Amino acid sequence: MIAAVASGKGGTGKTTVTASLATVWGGPLVAVDLDVEEPNLHLFLRPTIEGREKAHLTVPVVDEARCNCCRACADLCQFAAISVMGSVILTFPEMCHGCGGCFAVCPEKALSCGQRELGEISWGRSGPVDFLSGRLRVGEAMSPPLMRRVKGRLQQMLGSVGGDAIIDAPPGVSCPAVNAVLDSDVILLVTEPTPFGFYDFRLAWQAFAPLGKPLGVVVNRAGLGHDAVYRFCRDQGLPLLAEIPYDRDIAAAYARGRIVADLSPELRETFLSLRGKIGDLARQCRPRKAVHA
Ligand code: SF4
Ligand code: SF4
């Protein structure tokens, strides 16, 4: 089973939930930080890092001696990463999405493979839990290519040791957030009972519900008083799987990098119960296909 923990906006407690679930999971588990622009799961799980590798995207490099400036590559590229002006050809590696189309259409075989560094992938162990994370290079604008590399390694890890995975997804509803949940069997939406929280929660539901995966809701900072999230869940038939109370001690512990499930027997029971409900939800899903590369 792959469970993705998502939210419509940052700061709702997505990583709190992911780290606590990893702590109580009770079986082989890979905890994955796919929030590659701002990874912070390691601050809570404090893994021993056992390996790192750089990830790269293949970008075109022009052999000007071969190029006849026919424009086929520039006309094909949807991202303006190649431009031909008269007898001059220019490439813009930072705009390349690595689709490979230009290589395929060049009649002169004038393009060779260069590399743009995307960022770094690291992996290791946090107690009984396997840990995997990506970190985008500073200045790199596109996170999905690095996320795909992280997911490729996740597929290898699950293939060799089996078990489950829990993914800390990027916040929001843009391309990286959707990319992060695509391979999951179940999606947890973490929200908070505030007007802002509800607004972004509804956006997240609109983005993720069409994927057709089982969705469950976790309300963090429960007790703040705004009830629109609860009414929406009732109206849409969305299961409310857990509530984490609004509590100064929880906030203080979180700020120190402590795992919320470890703070009291009651909170541990909350996350144990949540883990069971995730399993129940995932069983509604058809058998998992290969992770998207
Ligand atoms: S690989 Fe794709 S995105 Fe990159 S320059 Fe070639 S056609 Fe454009
Ligand atoms: S398709 Fe090949 S030959 Fe034509 S402009 Fe591009 S690199 Fe040059």
User: What ligand is nearest to the CA atom of residue 77?
Assistant: 1
In eight-state DSSP terms, residue 8 is S
Task: Note the pLDDT of residue 285.
Answer: 59
Q: Ligand 1 atom 2: the closest Cα is on which residue?
A: 99
Cβ–Cβ under 8 Å, residues 46 and 144: no
User: How does DSSP assign 106-151, residue by residue?
Assistant: -TT--EEEEEEEEEEEEEEEETTEEEEEEEEPTT----HHHHHHHH
Q: Ligand 2 atom 1: the closest Cα is on which residue?
A: 106
d(CA 258, CA 250): 9
d(CA 128, CA 123): 13
Task: Note the pLDDT of residue 292.
Answer: 46
Nearest to 58 by CA among 122, 101, 107, 120: 101
Find out whether the beta carbon of 108 lies less than 6 Å from any atom of ligand 2.
yes
CATH of 64-109, one of 3.90.1150.10, 3.90.700.10, 3.40.30.10, 3.30.70.20: 3.30.70.20
The helix or strand, by DSSP H or E, that contains position 190, with its residue range, turns out to be strand 186-191
Computed from CA positions of residues 282, 285, 288, 291, in that sequence, does the dihedral angle turn out positive or negative?
negative
Q: Ligand 1 atom 4: the closest Cα is on which residue?
A: 96
**Pair type for strands 240-245 and 48-62:** unpaired
Atom of ligand 2 nearest to the CA of 70: 4
Nearest to 270 by CA among 27, 33, 36, 20: 20
Find out whether the beta carbon of 68 lies less than 6 Å from any atom of ligand 2.
yes
* Tokens 């520039």 -> residue: 74
| pTM (predicted TM-score) | 0.90
Task: Note the pLDDT of residue 158.
Answer: 93
CA of 119 to the centre of ligand 1 (A): 19
Q: Mean pLDDT by 10-residue block, N- to C-terminus, for the chain (293 residues)? A: 91 93 94 96 97 97 97 96 95 95 97 97 96 96 94 93 92 90 94 92 94 95 89 95 94 91 95 96 62 44
User: How does DSSP assign 47-114, residue by residue?
Assistant: -EEEEEEEEEEEEEEE-TTT-----HHHHH-TT--EEEETTEEEE-GGG-----HHHHH-TT--EEEE
Task: Note the pLDDT of residue 174.
Answer: 87
Task: Note the pLDDT of residue 290.
Answer: 42
Q: For the chain, give every domain's residue range.
A: 2-55+119-282, 64-109
Residue of 61, 90, 97 to mutate, ligand 1, most atoms within 8 A of C-beta? 97
Nearest to 147 by CA among 274, 55, 85: 55
Computed from CA positions of residues 184, 45, 10, 240, in that sequence, does the dihedral angle turn out positive or negative?
positive
Q: Ligand 2 atom 6: the closest Cα is on which residue?
A: 73
What is the token pair recorded at 227?
């009830």
User: What ligand is nearest to the CA atom of residue 73?
Assistant: 2
Find out whether the beta carbon of 226 lies less than 6 Å from any atom of ligand 2.
no
In eight-state DSSP terms, residue 191 is E
What is the token pair recorded at 138?
């500073």
Task: Note the pLDDT of residue 288.
Answer: 45
Give me the torsion for CA of 35, 37, 40, 45, rounded to 10°.
Answer: 50
How many residues are there in the chain?
293
What is the token pair recorded at 186?
């179940």
The class of domain 2-55+119-282 in CATH terms is: alpha beta
Q: 3-class SS at 193?
A: coil
Cβ–Cβ under 8 Å, residues 121 and 51: no
